[in-house]
Amino acid sequence: MSEKVSQVSIFPWSESDLELLRLINAPEMMEHLGGPETEEQLAIRHKRYLEISGKGKGHMFSIVLLPDREAVGSIGYWDSHWQGEYVYEVGWSVLPEFQGRGLASSALQAAISHASSEAKFRWMHAFPSIHNPASNAVCRKLNFTLMSECEFEYPLGHFMQCNDWRLELTESPSAD
């Protein structure tokens, strides 16, 4: 199964995506996320990405450029608890040589469609660093609402200033 949008498709994370994860782990890619991880940390992350769908806790995807089917990044959403409610949190990475082409926006639109079809949570949140204008622009382009600036812990033990962007996936049930 793939969610297809112009220029890219997103495909469920697979064993073969470990090398993509290593490319994403480059210092320039991890600048806003606490820096590169060790090989052991990457192996743990890869295992978590492989298992998340089966646990019903979210989905991870590779972003694949069409028509060449070249893996150019990752995107995923997962269950999170934020300000007293359960929501999806979404995050993405696009390799530097493919940035600036709208690929993150296309992949995020596909991920939003996928999450919306599950009708599990009303809200999806993204937490890009306040120092990451490209990711903040993607949120704005896809009609996320900027809720506030906040301190966010990612990865564990690393606090950063983020923008809390929110998108409504499903309307709340009507009260009778």
Please give the pLDDT value at position 172.
59
Q: Is residue 173 included in any domain, yes or no?
A: no
* pLDDT over 60 at 122, yes or no: yes
Higher pLDDT: 64 or 68? It is: 64
Order of strands, edge to edge, in the sheet holding 123-126? 3-5, 8-12, 58-65, 70-82, 85-94, 123-126, 159-168, 145-153
Q: In angstroms, rounded to a whole number, what is the distance separating the alpha carbons of residues 132 and 121?
A: 26
Q: Residue 113 is part of a domain; what is its CATH number?
A: 3.40.630.30
- Mean pLDDT across the stretch 84-89? 95
- The domain in which residue 122 lies consists of 3-168
Q: Is residue 123 included in any domain, yes or no?
A: yes
What residues contact residue 125 under an 8 Å CB cut-off, 6+ apart?
Answer: 80, 82, 87, 88, 89, 90, 147, 164, 165, 166, 167
Q: Is residue 144 included in any domain, yes or no?
A: yes
Sign of CA dihedral 44, 169, 73, 146: negative
Our count of domains for the chain comes to 1
**pLDDT band at residue 32 under the 50/70/90 scheme:** low
Specify the pTM. Answer: 0.88
* pLDDT over 60 at 17, yes or no: yes
Record the tokens describing residue 138, joined without a space: 């993607």
Higher pLDDT: 173 or 43? It is: 43
Q: Is residue 146 included in any domain, yes or no?
A: yes
Longest Cα–Cα distance of the chain, Å, equals: 53
CA geometry: angle at 136 spanning 135 and 142, to 5°? 90
Q: How many residues does the chain have?
A: 176
Q: Is residue 176 included in any domain, yes or no?
A: no
Record the tokens describing residue 65, joined without a space: 């450029």
* pLDDT over 60 at 10, yes or no: yes
Look over the chain and give the mean of its residue pLDDT values, rounded to a whole number.
Answer: 89
Q: Is residue 70 included in any domain, yes or no?
A: yes
**pLDDT band at residue 80 under the 50/70/90 scheme:** very high
Q: Is residue 174 included in any domain, yes or no?
A: no
